[in-house]
Homo-oligomer: A and B are copies of this chain.
């Protein structure tokens, strides 16, 4: 019987996810899925489009987001290898998704997944736990959006570092604009706050998207 691996979907467990990538949702033989490449900035799906597929990131990274009429954009989350996206319960996607960099994504037909879930209790359970975990993350994101700019960036750095740092070094896949739209700030404020953290020796810039976390404890303290 396939073991559900909660860690594979938790915000703090991504690194492990790539090693022990086993969750019933995509490991079930009936749900092998089709790998598909997406180019940088290519749309994977759009808000309001039929939600025919569920996706799993194999390599690269993906952003999911919603936009307002005047173009303001809120990035809902960043999806790294091992992450699942597109799990809407309605017939249409409630947000859009784009490739941040060239990436490989596994596609499974939604109807297939739901049919399998009708018989395979592991898949059904995994479907629910995955969605519930996304819900938990969404609630944490809401909490983030009432914090100060410094607190938001600290929270972001802690999260992303847990997910893909190697020896406290992080290679950010996303632009400053993406970070700004995720944190509900402007690109200028993100840049300035990065500079402050750097001046306080909490982090160090090896390159504009390559960060060394010098003082994780201080980051955690800033997070509130």
Contact = CB atoms under 8 A, between A and B. Distances in A.
A72 B145 CA distance: 12
B142 A74 contact: yes
Contacts of A224: 68-70, 72
A28 interface: no
Given A138-B139, A139-B94, A147-B68, A129 B89 contact: yes
Interface size grouping (class) on chain A = 35 or more
A121 to B, nearest CB: 5
A135 interface: yes
B131 A66 contact: no
Contacts of A128: 89, 117, 124, 127-128, 131
Contacts of A22: none
Contact of A88 (B95, B132, B141): B132
Contacts of A6: 89-90
A184 interface: yes
Given A76-B142, A138-B138, 16 more contacts: A6-B90, A66-B140, A70-B224, A72-B224, A74-B146, A89-B129, A89-B132, A89-B136, A94-B139, A124-B125, A127-B128, A128-B131, A131-B135, A134-B135, A135-B135, A145-B184
Contacts of A70: 224
A118 interface: yes
Copy number in the complex reads 2
Nearest to A69: B224
A84 to B, nearest CB: 12
Given A127-B128, A135-B131, A135-B138, A143 B90 contact: no
Interface in A52-92: 66, 68-70, 72, 74, 76, 87-90
A36 interface: no
Nearest to A73: B146
Nearest to A141: B142
